[in-house]
Structure 1
Amino acid sequence: MANLTLKLTVTNGTSLLGIIFKLFKVNNEIPLVDQVKNDSFTYDFDLEENEEYNLYIVGTNSLSVKGNTNINLVYNGVKFHGNFKNPTNRKGNGYFIMYSFDTK
């Protein structure tokens, strides 16, 4: 069974406008998960076997000069496509990240 946990940590404040994350099956326009958070969180995704997914994460950092967001994916039975950096840090005002993966 495939599993994926998103661990997102916001440091030196909270997200100014929020953190949006959405999980889609490939070729499906309706998200399986559509959440908005303002601070650090952990989210466990329920994944089906033999499927392809896209995970989108859009957010803003705090107004602090040292504002930073760390994104870490913990997974088993998941194969990522393309440039996959884990964990990743995002500094600056905002960020957009897309992960493409399958459970085959």
Structure 2
Amino acid sequence: MEEKEWELKELNGADTQDEELPLDFLHDVELEFEAVLGTTKCTVGDLLRLAPGAIVELDRSTGEALDLYLNGRKFAKCEVLVMDEKFGVRITEILPPEEE
């Protein structure tokens, strides 16, 4: 494992406005994406009656944008694509960060 020395300097608000932060060390961090087709609610009885071939109706219409999650947080809207017999998504909107 290679060690790197970082030189830290004291910053004030004006210093951070025009400087780019070095983010190269983050390039190999893995993130998990999930595209959610839709959701629904059911009773335990309905769940117990499910069998192969059962159809579950979801809350989305055909052509409606899907929610794209990044590490469990909704971050974009997207549409489904089929690419070489695999599904993919095209991002149509990046959502503003949630205020916590």
Q: TM-score normalised by the shorter chain: which range applies?
A: under 0.3
**TM-score, normalised relative to structure 2:** 0.25
Higher relative contact order (CA 8 A, sep 6+): 1
Which structure would you say has the larger Rg?
2
Greater fraction of residues in strand:
1
**TM-score, normalised relative to structure 1:** 0.24
